[in-house]
Amino acid sequence: MTTSEENYLKVIYHLSQVSPKGVNTNAIAGMLETKASSVTDMLKKLSDKDLVSYQKYQGVTLTENGFLSAKMIVRKHRLWEVFLVDKLQFSWDEVHEIAEELEHIQSIALIDKLDAFLGHPDFDPHGDPIPNRQGEIKKTSKLLLSEAELNQEYHCVGVKDSSSEFLKYLDKQKIALGSVFKVIEKESFDDTLTVEINAQEKIISNKIANNLYVQ
Amino acid sequence: MTTSEENYLKVIYHLSQVSPKGVNTNAIAGMLETKASSVTDMLKKLSDKDLVSYQKYQGVTLTENGFLSAKMIVRKHRLWEVFLVDKLQFSWDEVHEIAEELEHIQSIALIDKLDAFLGHPDFDPHGDPIPNRQGEIKKTSKLLLSEAELNQEYHCVGVKDSSSEFLKYLDKQKIALGSVFKVIEKESFDDTLTVEINAQEKIISNKIANNLYVQ
DNA sequence: AGATATTTTTAGTTTTGTCTAAATTTAAAT
DNA sequence: ATTTAAATTTAGACAAAACTAAAAATATCT
């Protein structure tokens, strides 16, 4: 499989989580910063290889094959992110782009050994689950901070938006995976939250609260 | 720089060590398992980018730029090999192909951090020197086992042939980097050596002795 | 339902890196 | 010094992955 094909598969995989009954050509083009016509070309190719099932004008879904392949790419991406953060001391906002390259390295033995070296992690540095070598994903019942109940203790288990910008903001606010949250008050006017984070009171906007997963 | 361009540069770099006054088109084609006509095309492109100096029919040499770029690719290759052997427990005969892919990952920060993580190694698992980030290479005065003097103690510092086949043979013979050698006898008829290796006497063919570096 | 807008596909080009086959240059050999 | 052989380059073609512009299908709106 080429790097380009892998990138398409991965994007279709991610978009499928939001629109499971068919991913739009334009949506794929948007994610890959390419043109719709290029996407159509590639969908035909992926369809010929039985990685997606595609009917003109009707959007695209992953086949069994494509689904597994996509999860293997995600597995590689997230394992490399763990390596970069845990072993090479990168911060969590720096690793995405490098992992985008590393995820296309082919060797299966490499990934198995990397997995073992890292201690078979279940989650990447942003709290996203790492599929195992069979493609199985550990499900957790996380919820958004904006949906949290008042005066209950939660801890941060992930971020929804993992853009460098957002992650740097969290660093500045000393919010990390594992941070302890308790929502003290919810301002009904603008949904701003008053939250006790690691025993410090902070005001959290709705936008932030909508991008933090807690448990 | 594309992966293909990098592969050409690297091959020209290696071939330059043997023919410093100009590398042949055919030699490059042989190393890359491609056709001479493809090489000619690429040499023009590399020449336009001032990475090689190239005159029709006269062979090719690296420019200052090309020389440095090539050394950076070699640096990446060899650092990844150290990682694979030291951290992921690959054996020295398994790492070349994987490193061929990893050497094309772009990030400079990644290589700097990897270098630090590995403890700034000077040599890769086959005893080849790792250029530092300035492209400087630590020179050592190694010699081939076939050139070693009788009854002098040496230790193994590298291999000339790093094919999987040869490396596996060395593993079987329990010869590794650091092994202690003393040539007991040299058979003048076929240049076979009797060598004491790690306090064990062994017969070493001329072909083997011509591919082992000692010091 | 019909008109308009949006999305998607087709058709035809471009670029990169490769190839084959033919032409040219250099090297070797009688 | 020719002739022959080997190495190299040119010319033209192809596949992959992208693009533009135009055509076709679907969705939306009054």
Per-residue confidence at A199, pLDDT binned at 50, 70, 90?
confident
Residue nearest to nucleotide C25 (CA to C1'): B57
CB-contacted nucleotides of strand D (7 Å): 7-12, 16-22, 25-26
Tell me if B135 is assigned to some domain. Answer: no
Nearest CA in chain A to B107: A98
What's B11's domain CATH number?
1.10.10.10
Domain final residue pick, B62, B86, B107: B62
Domain count for chain B? 2
Tell me if A69 is assigned to some domain. Answer: no
What's B181's domain CATH number?
2.30.30.90
Tell me if A135 is assigned to some domain. Answer: no
Tell me if A162 is assigned to some domain. Answer: yes
Q: What is the pLDDT of residues A37-56, one digit of tens each?
A: 999 999 999 999 999 999 99
Could you tell me the residue range of the domain that residue B19 belongs to? 3-62
Tell me if B7 is assigned to some domain. Answer: yes
C1' (C20) to CA (B23) span, angstroms: 24
Contact yes or no for B117 and A90 at CB 8 A: no
C1' (C7) to CA (B5) span, angstroms: 39
Percent of chain A residues topping a pLDDT of 70:
100
Q: How far is A86 from chain B (nearest CA, A)?
A: 11
Evaluate whether A72 touches A58 at the Cβ level (below 8 Å): no
C1' (D10) to CA (B105) span, angstroms: 34
Q: What is the pLDDT of residues B59-108, one digit of tens each?
A: 999 999 999 999 999 999 999 999 999 999 999 999 999 999 999 999 99
Q: Where are the beta strands (DSSP E) in chain B?
A: 52-54, 60-62, 143-144, 153-159, 180-186, 193-197, 200-204, 212-214
Local structure of A45: helix, strand or coil? helix
Say which residues have a Cβ less than 8 Å from residue A13's Cβ, sequence separation at least 6: A62, A67, A70, A71, A73, A74
A35 touches strand D (CB under 7 A): yes
Tokens linked to A178? 């594992």
Domain final residue pick, B43, B62, B81: B62
Tell me if A54 is assigned to some domain. Answer: yes
Tell me if B79 is assigned to some domain. Answer: no
Tell me if A148 is assigned to some domain. Answer: yes
Domain final residue pick, A38, A62, A86: A62
Contacts of B110 in chain A (CB under 8 A): 84, 88, 98
User: What pLDDT score does B199 carry?
Assistant: 87
